[in-house]
Chain A
């Protein structure tokens, strides 16, 4: 299964490559890892040979184009040399480097005082939560001006552009503490989110994500278009923590299923559905609350159905075939394709096996729900396993999930036992919460 993609698969995968679509909504610096990944795919894993010269060159070209506008001069110079086959980078790069250094120094000078101040305990202890008061205080006691605060922002920006993410994050953090300029604070928050993502500092990235989300919800409520654009960007940025940090999974899924964001995804970037579907499906065993998972599953099915006219790839087609058409054969075919797509995707590579496994569970689940008797042979074909492995797999599954099913070995079938839900049980279920809810209601009225 883990074998290198076949020639056919290769074409299929490139057809579903979302790089271009994703890149529109990501920052330059964030696209870089994606490009690196594509470059890595071109290189043969064992020998380290480059399989496809032209493609590799294209990627290098893309990298160069990407980073040309940043201030990572050394690296850009190297790329340029590689592209042009030069030994020495031309002088313009050195010039630019010099300029960048000059700027950096200038800003550092401008901000040295304020940074120093912020490191002194007596100053920090005097700061309160009120920004305006803080600024007044600093102005009065330490002659800090607005320009100095803004210089922090510029320095952070420059450092980010140089690829010095940790420092940039620090600068922006300081700036945010002091600045009262709401717009710039919002930019700084975005900047910090980018920094944290790029330094893979997921915990704080999640914090920043939350802050950005709040800003979008509150500040931009008057401007639907900007809100849509910001949400689109945030959705894309959130993919990094979603697939790299386990703890981020639930909050980000929650974020994505929030009405505002799910609408954004539907309206503006349906391709996110692939990631969403994978995340939901692989979340199967992990979710603390199976109810939420079921709800998310239902939602994703609904949305995949709605958006089928706009966006389709093997992952969504798998969901469609399985949960809407109940066409198990088609689902199986799509699963194979989906696996290859996952292996060619920067974000999903690590989750491919997980996904396949969860998907099989899903197939089996709905299979069992509908059928009373399934032939083992048929099932193993559905699951893409050989007969013995399938048997073992099913036994494990029955044990794990406590399904009410038995294997009839002689007949070669799995027999499912669907106990009809008793009427009494139904009545009990329906009236279960009644008392509690009425009490709550009474309490609420009494208030």
Chain B
């Protein structure tokens, strides 16, 4: 129906267009009082919705038109016959928009208000005759402004959880900004309206004075904000003329407010503001003012780097760091000033708060921990973007020490203010800051931590000491880690707690405390829940896992090392999983958004775990486990094919396919050629290949590791030899073996005994002649081995069936308890849930990786 009239108007929402439609049809009502309009309009709304559906529903209801509808149809007819001027039409539109705004005000729907307000302003331009706005418009904006102030006031009082939702909040801000600008133009009219609303509405257009936007008296309620705005503009003017206006301590607060107001807006010159604040900082006299200025200044500096990709400029970071240090020192010297979250904002710009007789503190709103976190993040970000192989990176890295000082100072500050229970400092702040400290310590060797700590304490004033980490603890990094982590275990939960645990494990593993680290890793049960944590924590988990694996390797525990590293290294996506570079992914679509996130996650170079070393360790371990296994399988091809490391197998196959093999060039070649030599029983050659890998030198005590590897290669070589050549011998003298592999004859006997006992070798020892006697008739014919394989498969089938049923029946079928018992018995040594656990963790990890760790094309930037 009325769609014919309003088809062109697109900006309004569905409901408002309904209302408009109605109004355009029943225009005589518009002349009536506003209140009446509203109520009738509400009815009309219902009506119109009825109308919309009603006639279309069924053929019957089409003719059963009710009273209201017929009336409106009548009026529509009238409207159609009446000839309206264009101006009238516009006026109607305006009225409709106004009512919508009023309605929206009632339900606090700021999102729609913002839209409608825009529309209103567009409409009113057309209606302005000789710069004079229509009266309903003036009324509307005046009311809207009052309502806005009211809402803002309410916002301050209401607790945080009752805040508006995002759309509304955005709408509210939009309206707030626009209405101020807008209302200035109509200030005189608004004033007139406020003085006597009825009279204003009655009065004739001509009586109202012309609007004089330039010189206006601001109304009371808006005074501070408007003043600030004014001040702001004032600065701009003055600066353009190149003359700085003198800053006085009295005006500081006003300046600050102006700057805070303009924060986040477009076209604000942040650099200019920072300069102003630097000036202000010089003139600030009282601690209160200094604190305020420093706070604002630091935030403003952070704003400079607020883009998602760019980091903060270096000089600003340094300045921010200095200022933050100054702030903390200030707070330390003036104990009656505290910066806490959730403090009341000081509204009066002309005075500074004075310590009242009842108050113990002057509270300044702000969050020191957030500043520190931000500073830390900015450093990380800048490190991410610098090429790690330049001296610039190293220069930048020295800033970490000063950052650490700040963290320590911040920690001390929080400890002091937490002593006073009246301030109600949340535990969380302290946890956060301790976590940051931990983040800077956990991956460093003890000596480095010691130096870092000592320097940090030198900076801190001598009288202070920390209750959590006393000064004398700084000499002992292990103890420091222990204390910090324990504090977090006791006082935090969720992610921070998990991170603390992982940091501790990482540190332990780094310092060769394998069993402690492993036991903590197992008892933490993190592998079960890690998939629920955020990506950063998952990365930390992966790093820790790798570190534990490397630690196991250094201890000579090849089996454990391989097992632990399997999940990360076996996946072939080490880079992603450790956040040390983005991988090219050929077949996946990566949105720029994902790529950006991925890049943000990258660790700065100095935290990296050397990937080449990692690969080398993993491959060496795999070799030591796989080559004897291959030899064992090789002699009887029908044994169930067990694969320890798919990655390794693949590489080996690839290597074997090559026709010409040159001398080894990289780590992988070395390991592969060593594997070949080992498989052929040439353990000396294998040892030589492994030893000539250069990267071992990166490990602490490389010589010991080489010796350990040589020993392992000897033993595994012996095993491989026995597996490979057993079919061709009747007896073998132990002494011969012992000279061949340069091992003690008791050692050889022990190895052989072990193999016999585990039924890997069909043989027996003859103690008198000191020989190994291989049993004959062990080699099976093809039919026999196939029969064995068949029986194996049959029993596997039964077991699978039973398990399936068990899952279905929720394990209530007791008939299968027998099977469980036997399985438990068969489980080999050295597993203890660690293996299974870690693997499930790893799987979850990989899944998480599948969804989140999508690589980008820029991975080469951080390649180690």
Contact = CB atoms under 8 A, between A and B. Distances in A.
B425 to A, nearest CB: 29
Interface stretch (B9-17, B581-589, B787-795): B787-795
Interface stretch (A18-26, A42-50, A369-377): A369-377
A370 B756 contact: yes
B698 interface: no
Given A327-B750, A413-B768, A427-B787, A370 B757 contact: yes
A427 B789 CA distance: 9
Interface in B754-807: 754, 756-757, 762, 764-769, 773, 775, 777-778, 780, 784, 787-788, 791-792, 794-795, 798, 801-802, 805
Interface in A367-388: 369-375, 378
Contacts, number: 104
Interface in A406-421: 411, 413, 416, 418, 420
B788 A302 contact: no
A373 B821 contact: no
A53 B794 CA distance: 71
Nearest to B772: A372
B711 to A, nearest CB: 15
Contact of B809 (A295, A373, A433, A444): A444
B791 A430 contact: yes
Contacts of A371: 764-767
B494 interface: no
B798 A441 contact: yes
Contacts of B778: 420
Contact of A418 (B519, B764, B780): B764
Contacts of A267: 519, 523
B662 interface: no
A143 interface: no
Contact of B795 (A302, A305, A430): A430
A56 interface: no
Contacts of A301: 829
Given A418-B764, A420-B777, 5 more contacts: A266-B832, A299-B825, A306-B829, A325-B750, A434-B795
A445 B805 CA distance: 8
Contacts of B795: 430-431, 433-434
A-B complex: 6 closest residue pairs judged by Cβ atoms: A372-B764, A326-B753, A430-B791, A295-B825, A302-B829, A373-B766
B815 A440 contact: yes
Interface in A388-447: 411, 413, 416, 418, 420, 423, 426-427, 430-431, 433-434, 437-438, 440-441, 444-445
Interface string A213-247: 00000000000000000000000000000000000
Given A302-B830, A309-B515, A375 B791 contact: no
A434 B828 CA distance: 24
A170 interface: no
Nearest to A437: B798
B780 A375 contact: no
Contacts of A325: 750, 754
Contacts of B149: none
A310 interface: yes
Contacts of B809: 444
Contact of A434 (B777, B794, B825): B794
B722 to A, nearest CB: 14
Given A426-B788, A431-B791, A298 B767 contact: no
A430 B775 CA distance: 22
B753 A370 contact: yes
Interface residues of B, number: 45
Nearest to A329: B746
B813 interface: yes
B767 A373 contact: yes
Nearest to B806: A444
10 contacts: A267-B523, A302-B828, A302-B829, A327-B750, A370-B752, A371-B766, A373-B769, A413-B768, A426-B791, A437-B798
Interface residues of A, number: 44
Given A295-B824, A427-B791, A370 B764 contact: yes
A437 B515 contact: no
Contacts of B828: 302
Which of A267, A373, A413, A433 counts the most chain B CB atoms within 10 A?
A373
B798 A378 contact: no
B792 A370 contact: no
A98 interface: no
A366 interface: yes
B530 to A, nearest CB: 19
Nearest to A323: B757
Nearest to A304: B829
B116 to A, nearest CB: 56
Contacts of B777: 420
Nearest to A374: B767
A437 B802 contact: yes
Contacts of A378: 767
B244 to A, nearest CB: 66
Nearest to B555: A309
Please classify the interface of chain A as helix (H, G, I), strand (E, B), loop, or mixed, using the class held by over half of its residues: helix
A302 B519 CA distance: 16
A67 to B, nearest CB: 36
Contacts of B765: 370-372
B554 to A, nearest CB: 15
Contacts of B792: 430
Contacts of B830: 302, 305-306
A336 B805 CA distance: 52
Contacts of B816: 440
Which of A294, A434, A444 counts the most chain B CB atoms within 10 A?
A444
A374 B764 CA distance: 11
Nearest to A428: B791
Contacts of A373: 766-769
Contacts of A374: 767-768
B767 A326 contact: no
A370 B764 CA distance: 5
Contact of B757 (A327, A369, A413, A416): A369
A431 B780 contact: no
A438 B798 contact: yes
B358 to A, nearest CB: 45
Nearest to A305: B829
Nearest to A430: B791
Contacts of A413: 767-768
A374 B767 CA distance: 5
Contact of A326 (B515, B750, B832): B750
A246 B802 CA distance: 37
A369 B829 contact: no
A293 to B, nearest CB: 11
Contacts of B754: 325-326
Which of B519, B753, B780, B809 counts the most chain A CB atoms within 10 A?
B753
Interface string A323-356: 0111101000000000000000000000000000
Contacts of B767: 371, 373-375, 378, 413
A447 B512 CA distance: 56
B768 to A, nearest CB: 5
A97 to B, nearest CB: 44
Contacts of A294: 825
B829 A372 contact: no
B718 to A, nearest CB: 14
Nearest to B824: A295
A444 B815 contact: yes
B805 A444 contact: yes
B733 to A, nearest CB: 14
Contacts of A306: 829-830, 832
B805 A423 contact: no
